[in-house]
A and B are shown apart, each in its own frame.
Chain A
Amino acid sequence: MRSISFGAFLGNNSNLRARSYVNRLPLFTRGVLVAIVVFWIVGVQSVWDLRTWGALVPDLVGLSSLYRLNTYPFIHLNFFHALMNVLALVPLLERFESEHGTLTSLALFFGPFVTIPSFMYLFVEKVVLRANTPVMGASIWVFLLLGIEAIRTYKLNPYLVVGTHNIPTWTSPIAILLCVAALVPSSSFLGHLCGLAVGYFCGLGYLKYLAPPEKILRWIEGKLNLLGRLPHYVSIDQKTYGRFGVLPSSGTSALRLRRDPRMLKVPPYLSLLCIVVGAVWLFLLPLNEYSRRTYISENALLPGQVHTYFSGSDQHVFRAYKHEVNELAGKTNIDVNDRLESIVKGLGLKTARQNFTYQSAGRVYSGENLYAILQAPRGDATEAIVLVGAWENVKGELNRNGIPLILTLARYFKRWSLWSKDIIFLVTPDSIAGPQAWVDAYHDAHDSSRINSLPLKSGLLQGAIALDYAQETRFESVHIVYDGINGQLPNLDLINSVVSIAGGQMGIGVAIQEMWHHNDQYPDRLRTMLRGMLKQGLGRASGPHSSFIPYHVDAVTLQPFGDGWQDEMAMGRVVEGTFRSLNNLLEHLHQSFFFYLLMQRERFVSIGTYLPSAMLVAANFTIMAIALWVKSGYAEDPSTAKKQPASSKYTSTPAIERNLFLPLGVITFCQSIAIIPLYLFNHAPAAALPPTFLLFTILNTALPHLLSHYLTTYHSPSTQQHQLIKSFSLLLLGMFLSSLATLNFSLALLIGLLASPLTFMRPWPGSAAARYTCTLLLNAISPTAVIFAGAKYWGLEVGEVLEQAAFGWDVCGMYTPVVVWCVWWPAWLAGSVVTLGRPKAKEVPPQAKGEKDL
């Protein structure tokens, strides 16, 4: 019966169906379900440790404690464990019961099915491995049932055909087993294996004799009239011998699978599952099991191993320089540079200047960079480290302690003879454009008409530290800003060494992502991670360091914050220590990670762990697209599934031609007009941005209606064509996102989640209400709406946001606008067109008719 209900799932109101499914769960299954839940609730209290009582602990199993053999499947480690197992167990168990009847399953699941695996497990664990790992949880049943199912499937479709290779289907549970063992932490591979083994045996029928003989069961039933008394009781006679037991197995697995109409009904759930799992996955990351502690993997760094001497009379010098800088406050860029240059020249360093002019959103960002090179004694100009100080930081405050500190450090570094790399001191008028211009020019990637080439150069840049020390008072701890342009990150080793120098050596606290106070708990970790991901997703330059990272120069910005007793010298010592570490480097930083999410200064997840979530979200689009493609190959007739007798489900719906022209045309159109907003928002002057945005928003809401109206009136597309349109747009979306996920994970995930409703949009020929609700929903998640909402949420003007985007695009080469306007927006457009589409009711193709007759 499940299959029928399942088959009918694609009906309109699926949640109702779901409820009915839950209602129709048979008795024993419910019992197990309830038992598990109860045990979990009991386990919540901390007075009595249920788990030690009930788990299957090899050493504790004695005659007195045989009960463990029966209790352990009901007991779970934590909520997730229980939930997963329940979700996995219920359908299988339900199937088993409705096939073999309640009594049989009761007998089996309290007899052999629970004891045999546990005995096997005990034997192997105690006698063979001589270990003592406690196991618990219903997953052992899951695998047992999977084993049975697998054997049955094998009897029908022995091979799954991949390419030209036949994979016996009975191996599928093993694959699952391995995946679980690999992915799920602390899952007992051995226990699962035992369960699976028993399942195989049973499936092969070797355990038949364990099942109680039928006539006894019948007798019991008759005597107790169980069928009458118990609700949802599955009697012996109601048993269906497996839905596929006696089917004519003509053709092979692939053929069968594809011909099975239920195959076409699975994908929506599959992609829904993908999205859900993707999201859940993300929220699992901050847990200890998934995140890792950071560690220094480049041995040459030796952070905090050197004593730092920056103190004493250097503070006098610092004060003097600070006076100088304060006098310069408010002067023009040129005057500032003149004075600073004279000071730096006095230190005996080589100095040079660089003019740059950027134009973005009608504004002109121009200025002059000043930089000085401290040539490494005995060094050859092969490698260099950069110390950047922006005259004004990102917020536009004067960097009043940073600049003097840099000057003092320059004077101090000059005294050392141990530098193996040149040290470049760079002072830029602003925090984004200046460094960008300088780095571009350093790598000759600049447009020399607007940006001067550098008159003075050194070797390969091995690292860069930016100082943003605007606050007047003494500070408490250091804030590390590490996001680069387009979400690129510096090598984790750099952050680690700063953390260990500041935190470990100097005893200065370290914060990231503006989490000023971080108790290393789940919520804070999650918040840190999400902030990081948001910054990464936006991909804009977050400080002077950002421009370095695209050139594979690892860089961070150090911001003192808080009110504490640390003075400027302490900050200087942090920089000194970091530079000593960088100076130790023999090779370019390459050991540690470049793709990671930090959730605390000493906790991170690496790409291998977090990538699946984005990939799953991206995959859901692809799955749906393929499903739609296949589906569009059949003459769709929703009525058959219900009206026809159960048996005819196995006849396939007839195939028809796809006419691809219109869908392709629509998609091409959507993609091509995506250029318009991109151009518009990147070239409109700043003043004109808000009105343009308003105008575009209005157009944006109107456009789908116009398009679909045009289509319906002139082309009157069929359902199939709608399916194809959707399929193509989803295909593109999935493709873009999955490739983007490897470059900028966060952006891909954000877009993917925001676009996920598009997967489930379909034309509503019948109900106008549904159509308009969907349209509303779509408008709520349209790019424009999201931008607007985001701006409002962070208390910004839309104009600012767009200007920032344009600036990022023009100056830093940030590609977020492209992704938004050329990937997300077209998909959204196509989705809403599909939603608004009114497919004409089409006549049933002839073969389908001929089929209905028999």
Chain B
Amino acid sequence: MSARRPLNNGATSAKSSPEATIPPTVRPETPSNDAADTTSARKQPPPEKPSDVRRRTYVILSFWLIVLLLGLPIWWETTTIYRANLPLSEMLDWADGKACRPVFPLRISIQANSLHEQEAQNLLRLTQHALDDLNDFSGHHLRLQLSPPAAKEAEKDDAGAALTIRLIPGESTTSTLDPYSPILDITYPPHTIPSATSSSSSLATYVASQLRATFAEEQAIISYLLSSDSMPSDHRPQGLTPEAADSLSKRTTRSLKHAPTYHLTFSLFTSGPLPSSWDIEAAIAEFMKPVLDVLSPIHNFTIDTQVQLYATPGVQNQVLTKEDLSSFINAAEWPLSPSIGGAPTVNFIVFVGNQTILAAPQGSPDETDRTSQSWLIPQWGTVYLLPLPSDTTHVSAEKLKQPLLTFTSHLLSLTGTPQSGSLPLRLSTLARIRSADLLLRASSTLGSLARLALALPSISIPESVADGVSKTMSHLRLACETLGGAEGLGHARIAEAEAERAFFEKSMVGQLYFPDEHKLAVYIPLLGPVGVPLLLGLLNEIKAWRKRRRERAEQQATKKKE
């Protein structure tokens, strides 16, 4: 090829040589006329074959088709960040408490077998009025009902009622709370029965006040929860004294985060080589099992035990002051790793050593939680200092009685059970508190998830998060409807778990970040040199096409003339 090329050069140059001998008279500043005389000499290229024209059109078109149909989709597919759409507004509503108004309707059945129907009704009405007068917090409502006198035994444990009041005629008005079942026995002198017409009755007010007293703590806790959460003011309970709120906050901080399962670890730490074995199984079975059984509808528990010798506490001095207690646990050396299963671990430590606690000063607020030998570590567990003769090799079950009883009581407060009232009452209260708590927590999680999604536009939101959210919200709705009941707790629990799962979705945590200049660095060199020829080709093609059309039109016009 190149060996032959100069030939046509020669030819062309030979042609163009005549102009070469124009005398140099014209200034370069007037290029117009030299352009003129050269263009005049210039001959036009032969007309292009239509097939070539078509071919070029096809080439350009196919390029553009590839770019548009293949390139762009692939580019789009590979560079977009997937964001499942979330019901943001609803989530925020939940967070602000607009979606659900937590109301705990408590049905209290009254058994007045010795009264006549309308007397009882009348008493009921009066008591209800009294209650409504006393009540100041709309979220927590007591509703009285009269259980028909017939078949009282059957009715004793009807599901709906949170508490049953038995009115028993007696000589004076007394009230006793049954320790093993939610029953309040009230004896009354007959003359206190209000007449059908009277608008007030001492008995009624008495009953009302009794009820109030019974449910005071629960109400306080719930109102505290609501207030601590971001609830609009109309739900805010009135008259929650600061010191009450203070003690409540202490308790809530102390109690563990709610979980369906708790993992109890009983450890025997000995400062020396002895004792090296203990009879923990029997002790647990004897002293702790009953309580665990009672708690089982709300939580279930897994238990493990261990013995650790040569365990040196974090504080060495003989008598432990209040400050030492916090640093007593030697976290570095004691193998108290939380259990793997995900369930929160509650540690119950029996420490056999020769250390004692300085007796707590009277009137200290959490004095109740602490005997002279044990203390409770908030959200973590309990340490019990067990003094033993140095040569004991085996710790028997009865030696463990006192520690385990302490552990039991501490376990209750760690799970957040209220102190007052009979056990069944406390547990049902616990269920209600928990469900309220979970409800609030789940909705606040939703809120923060929504805020996150709004704040980071470049974060990817996988599908799993979306359905997690939807599940949460459906369960929240159910929970909100059946609040105060057993299934309410279940729904709330599920909702909370789902919300947590959605919020801590792994693929959301690591979000990709490309600085814009990097994008530029990648795109410019490609799009510049590739894009410009493509565009220009297209433009030229369009121009040429226009031209051709015009020519065709002219030709037809000329044809018409002829």
Contacts and interface: CB of A to CB of B under 8 A. Distances in A.
Direct contact of A and B (CB under 8 A): yes
Interface of A: 152, 155, 205, 208, 240-242, 244-251, 255, 258-259, 633-634, 647-648, 650-652, 654-658, 660, 847, 850-851, 854
A658 B2 CA distance: 10
B20 A246 contact: no
Interface residues of B, number: 29
Given A654-B10, A657-B3, 17 more contacts: A152-B28, A241-B28, A242-B28, A245-B26, A245-B27, A245-B28, A246-B27, A246-B34, A249-B38, A258-B9, A648-B20, A650-B20, A651-B14, A651-B20, A660-B3, A850-B14, A851-B17
Contact of A655 (B6, B21, B24, B38): B6
Interface string B450-463: 00000000000000
Given A258-B9, A655-B7, A847-B14, A248 B20 contact: yes
Contacts of A245: 24, 26-28
Contacts of B25: 246
A247 B9 CA distance: 18
B31 interface: yes
A648 B41 CA distance: 19
Nearest to A850: B14
B24 A246 contact: yes
B7 A205 contact: no
Nearest to B34: A246
B49 interface: no
A742 B534 CA distance: 38
B28 A248 contact: no
A655 B10 contact: yes
A650 B20 CA distance: 7
Contacts of B31: 155
A208 B29 CA distance: 10
Interface string B27-42: 1110100100110011
A167 to B, nearest CB: 13
Nearest to B6: A655
Contact of B9 (A240, A655, A658, A854): A655
Given A155-B31, A249-B38, A633-B6, A647 B21 contact: yes
A189 B2 CA distance: 41
B3 A854 contact: no
A647 B16 CA distance: 13
28 contacts: A152-B28, A240-B24, A241-B28, A246-B25, A246-B26, A246-B34, A248-B16, A248-B19, A248-B37, A249-B34, A249-B38, A250-B16, A250-B41, A251-B12, A255-B9, A255-B12, A258-B9, A633-B5, A634-B6, A647-B21, A650-B20, A651-B14, A655-B5, A655-B6, A655-B7, A655-B10, A847-B14, A854-B17
Contact of A652 (B9, B22, B42): B9
A396 to B, nearest CB: 59
Contacts of B7: 655
Contacts of B29: 205, 208
B14 A851 contact: yes
Given A246-B22, A634-B6, A647-B21, A259 B28 contact: no
A259 B13 contact: yes
A660 B13 CA distance: 26
Nearest to A632: B3
A656 B4 CA distance: 8
A330 to B, nearest CB: 67
Contacts of B20: 247-248, 647-648, 650-651
B38 A658 contact: no
A248 B5 contact: no
B181 to A, nearest CB: 71
A847 B10 contact: yes
A633 B3 contact: yes
A811 to B, nearest CB: 47
A723 to B, nearest CB: 14
B525 to A, nearest CB: 15
Contacts of B24: 240-241, 245-246
A150 B12 CA distance: 27
Q: Top 4 closest A-B pairs, CB basis?
A: A655-B6, A248-B19, A245-B28, A250-B16
A357 to B, nearest CB: 55
Interface string B198-220: 00000000000000000000000
Contacts of A242: 28
Contacts of B2: 633
A259 B11 CA distance: 12
Nearest to A660: B3
B28 A652 contact: no
Given A249-B34, A258-B9, A655-B9, A241 B27 contact: yes
A651 B13 contact: yes
A652 B10 contact: yes
A286 to B, nearest CB: 38
Nearest to B11: A847
Query: Max chain B CB contacts within 10 Å: which of A205, A249, A655, A850?
Result: A655
A250 B9 contact: no
Nearest to A164: B533
A230 B4 CA distance: 53
Contacts of A647: 20-21
B3 A250 contact: no
A240 B3 CA distance: 38
* Of listed B12, B13, B26, residue having the most chain A CB within 10 A: B13
B532 to A, nearest CB: 10
A258 B7 CA distance: 13
Contacts of B17: 651, 851, 854
Nearest to B15: A250
A656 B21 CA distance: 25
Contacts of B37: 248
A662 to B, nearest CB: 15
Contacts of A152: 28
Contacts of A655: 5-7, 9-10
B38 A250 contact: yes
Given A241-B24, A246-B24, A647-B21, A652 B38 contact: no
Nearest to A250: B16
Contacts of B28: 152, 155, 241-242, 244-246
A240 B25 CA distance: 9
